[in-house]
């Protein structure tokens, strides 16, 4: 058994009442999102990340009260990780994952300030994923305002998700290891769908080493690294299987020094997306089996799987069923989908934890200039999240 509550436990919970209360707090949700989004937090700016995290901790203290425990993991190269534990009812801890870094460079706000227009909030980072954290906080506040219990909550704030979570990964895994379930407030997919499957992501470099020689005077004395890398690229691209959902993309290709020199070195940089562990194993075997055409040349592969596969397991399906039951009283038939992008939820899923991902904003434009969120969607998703959270205190 996954340990996920049966959706029937929501029968006694008045989710529409939570939604009505949240709708009354609509202006405060918007104000919180605008204030948060006006703190720029690019993944590559340590000063701005530190300032943004300090703001977040202050805001969280105001909205949720002081945590029972605070754990800080500092880094000299990436955004810090802070884990905040809030006590609750029962022994089923929910871990909430929320990254505070964005893809937007310092100064973007000067060009595209945060704006509110009717039901829409626009601005860098609002969809991915600042609105999600605001929704999570207000979901808890809704339960408290209604006098309803929530389980112990562990909030994980990370500052390097947009660059693959190289520093935060072990801290995320530690925070999820004993969790009853993991809620990921990443933005929803098209149509507001939650994400019940995510592809695994591999980032690899293939290097070819050859022998240089004069291309005109003595061409056979050389072994062309460019010829080797070209053959490897064809092999790699042929491994793409769209029916399976696997893509292998050589996005960067470099090699050689001059047109009249047989190339002594070349490299290809690769992005791989796989939908299953079996597909991952197939790609691993392919990479391990790359061999040079010319025995005087050599091929070597560097890199790793940046994120493991998040397959739609039974525990993940159970989390989706719970969320769908929480949304139903609002007249919402909550959709689900599988996506090619990865998140920190992949790490939790690889640990066997029940994961609900894409519980965050309804909107669009992730990593794009038209990034935006729906305010009505924020209110609705906060109510759904409140229902899911409350179920674990039943």
Active site residues: 101, 161
Cα of 378 vs its chain's centroid, Å: 19
Alpha helices in 289-350 (DSSP H): 314-327, 345-350
Positive/negative CA dihedral, 385, 132, 137, 315: positive
DSSP 208-231: EE-B--BTTT-GGG-B-HHHHHHH
d(CA 101, CA 328): 33
CA distance linking residue 13 with residue 8, whole number of Å: 10
How many residues in the chain?
394
d(CA 380, CA 363): 13
Say if residues 222 and 297 touch (Cβ distance below 8 Å). Answer: no
The crossing angle, in degrees rounded to 10, of helices 131-145 and 375-391 is 60
> Comparing C-alpha atoms, which of 273, 278, 281, 285 is closest to residue 235?
285
Tell the burial category of 137 from Cβ atoms under 10 Å away from its Cβ (0-12, 13-18, 19+): buried
Residues 6+ apart with CB under 8 A from 47: none
Greatest C-alpha distance within the chain: 86
Rounded Cα–Cα distance for residues 329 and 195 (Å): 21
Specify whether the CB–CB gap between 157 and 82 falls below 8 A: yes
């Amino acid at each position: 058994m996954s340990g996920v509550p049966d959706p029937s436990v929501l029968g006694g919970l008045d989710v529409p009442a939570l939604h009505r209360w949240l709708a009354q707090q609509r202006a405060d949700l918007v104000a919180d999102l605008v204030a948060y989004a006006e703190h720029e937090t690019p993944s590559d700016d340590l000063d701005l990340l530190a300032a943004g995290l300090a703001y977040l901790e202050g805001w969280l203290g105001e909205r949720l009260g002081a945590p029972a425990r605070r754990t800080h993991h500092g880094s000299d190269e990436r955004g810090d990780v802070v884990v905040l534990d809030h006590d609750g009812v029962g022994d089923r801890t929910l871990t909430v994952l929320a990254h505070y870094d964005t893809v937007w460079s310092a100064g973007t706000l000067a060009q595209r300030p945060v704006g509110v227009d009717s039901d829409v909030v626009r601005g860098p980072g609002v969809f991915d994923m600042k609105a999600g954290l605001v929704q999570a906080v207000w979901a808890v506040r809704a339960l408290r305002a209604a006098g309803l219990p929530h389980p112990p909550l562990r909030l994980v704030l990370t500052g390097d998700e947009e660059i693959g979570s190289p520093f935060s990964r072990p801290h995320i895994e530690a925070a999820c290891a004993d969790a009853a379930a993991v809620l990921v407030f990443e933005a929803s997919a098209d149509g507001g769908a939650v994400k019940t499957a995510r592809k695994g992501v591999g980032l690899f470099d293939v290097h070819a080493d050859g022998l240089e020689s004069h291309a005109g005077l003595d061409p056979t004395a050389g072994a062309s690294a460019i010829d080797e890398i070209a053959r490897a690229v064809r092999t790699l691209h042929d491994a793409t299987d769209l029916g399976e959902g696997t893509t292998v993309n050589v996005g960067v290709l470099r090699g050689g020094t001059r047109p009249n020199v047989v190339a002594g070195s070349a490299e290809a940089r690769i992005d791989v997306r796989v939908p299953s562990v079996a597909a991952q194993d197939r790609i691993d075997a392919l990479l391990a089996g790359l061999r040079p055409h010319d025995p005087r040349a050599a091929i070597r592969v560097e890199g790793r799987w940046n994120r493991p596969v998040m397959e739609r397991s039974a525990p993940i399906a159970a989390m989706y069923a719970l969320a769908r039951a929480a949304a139903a009283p609002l007249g919402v038939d909550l959709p689900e989908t599988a996506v090619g992008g990865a998140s920190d939820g992949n790490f939790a899923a690889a640990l066997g934890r029940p994961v609900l991902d894409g519980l965050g904003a309804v909107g669009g434009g992730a990593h794009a200039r038209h990034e935006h969120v729906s305010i009505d969607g924020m209110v609705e998703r906060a109510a759904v999240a409140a229902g899911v959270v409350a179920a674990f205190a039943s």
